[in-house]
Amino acid sequence: MVNAFGAQETESLWRTSVGNGYSGPTVSEGRVFLMDRDMERSNRERVLCFDAETGESIWTVEYDCTYHSIGYPEGPRTSVACEKGFVYSLGTMGDVYCIHAGDGEIRWRLDLKDRYSLKMPVWGLAASPLLWKGLLLLQAGAREGACMVALDKTSGKEVWRALEDGASYSSPIIVTRKGVDVLVCWTAQRVVGLDPLTGRLFWAVPMPPGEIRQNVATPVLWRDYLFLSSFFDGALLLKLSEDGRDASKVWRRKGANERDTDALHCCISTPVLWEDYIYGIDSYGKLRCLEIGTGDRIWEEDSVVPLGRWATAHLVRNGAKIWIFSEKGELIVARFSPKGYEELDRTQVIDVSVKPLDRRGGVCWAHPAFAGGRLYARNDRELVCVELGLED
């Protein structure tokens, strides 16, 4: 039977062993890059490189990294960034590496703890590094005005620093409006727009944390709107000015608690904005559709993932369809619309992580990668490549 992926069966092309971690794979120029923690020698973090066609290991860079007072200490959180033959990684405790993608030679390295006075968040550094016009942009959360730092990507030298804020777990993004580039960063206390060239503050909108700082999902841009959602602190919709140098609040909604939620309280998964509606996974796993102008709930669906605290599914829009990688290691193809949720197909692609994440019998929390008609996904034991059978 031909499924929604266009293939007779969804089978793995290859599988290869990896260690623990929450780092999602990055695919670039025929190679797959991943971070993990060698659990046989638990004080070692690693950056791994594999052949995207065969899964063959090409090189490994490993270094000493003892975790201190870190919740969920199973491994790195961030995905590596790749550009022009080099790989850039950020470890849980602040180790930054620039590595030649071809042979694994280290070009430069630095320990953010040595250079800055870090205010380490509970779950470690988790915002992925961002490359932009020769700069490596990091949410370090350091004191002395170094929440955000920009490093020269060729040398690792500091170019600028900005903000006294604490670090969140949300990765920064660049948005371009009328030719103006704006670095959007969601810190522990607020969301800000910075000049990525200098770190100068364009605008800031407060979103102070309540019970616990848990900003994880990436900000999402749709037309003029910028949307943010947090497990404890609810949702915020901003409207950007034409050139992005200013932002104003459209609405802010927050429920009474983590169960009695309003609008959308996302945990790990980033929402999707499409055709003036917001779609996302709420605090305990329900998929919700919101009207973008008001945040009013249009519908909710509880069949995507097993319901439970911090239930997660990663949503990726592909044309008119949504690909969902669930925390149970399933790939789901669906359609979202204001009329409801339509599931087209569902298939198991990888087993769950059990030892470090025993919630609901084990879960997969790392974001997958889609590249070249293939899916790359990881758990606490292996990295898997699945052929999707797509013509495009």
Summarize pLDDT for 203-256 with one digit per residue, the tens.
999 998 877 778 999 999 999 999 999 999 999 999 999 999 999 999 999 999
Identify whether 340 is part of a domain.
Answer: yes
Identify whether 327 is part of a domain.
Answer: yes
Instruction: Enter the tokens of residue 80.
Output: 């590596």
Give me the pLDDT at residue 259, please. Answer: 94
Amino acid at site 264: L
Amino acid at site 122: V
Are the beta carbons of 341 and 286 closer than 8 angstroms? no
Q: How far apart are the first and last CA of the chain?
A: 20
Mean pLDDT of 119-138: 96
Distance of CA 265 to the CA centre of its chain: 16
41 Cβ contact list (under 8 Å, min separation 6)? none
Identify whether 157 is part of a domain.
Answer: no
Distance of CA 174 to the CA centre of its chain: 14
pLDDT bin (cut points 50, 70, 90) of residue 391 is low
Give me the pLDDT at residue 1, please. Answer: 29
Identify whether 182 is part of a domain.
Answer: no
How many CB atoms within 10 Å of residue 57? 13
How many CB atoms within 10 Å of residue 205? 17
How many CB atoms within 10 Å of residue 384? 22
d(CA 60, CA 128): 20
Identify whether 47 is part of a domain.
Answer: no
385 Cβ contact list (under 8 Å, min separation 6)? 12, 13, 14, 15, 32, 52, 55, 374, 375, 376
Q: What is the pLDDT of residues 57-116, one digit of tens each?
A: 999 999 999 999 999 888 999 999 999 999 999 999 999 999 999 999 999 999 999 999
How much of the chain exceeds pLDDT 90, in percent? Answer: 89
Domains identified in the chain, total number: 1
**Mean pLDDT value across the chain:** 94
Domain of residue 377, residue span: 1-19+309-364+366-392
Identify whether 173 is part of a domain.
Answer: no
Q: Report if pTM > 0.75.
A: yes
Identify whether 93 is part of a domain.
Answer: no
d(CA 385, CA 50): 11
d(CA 88, CA 249): 34
Q: Is the pLDDT of residue 182 over 80?
A: yes
Identify whether 378 is part of a domain.
Answer: yes
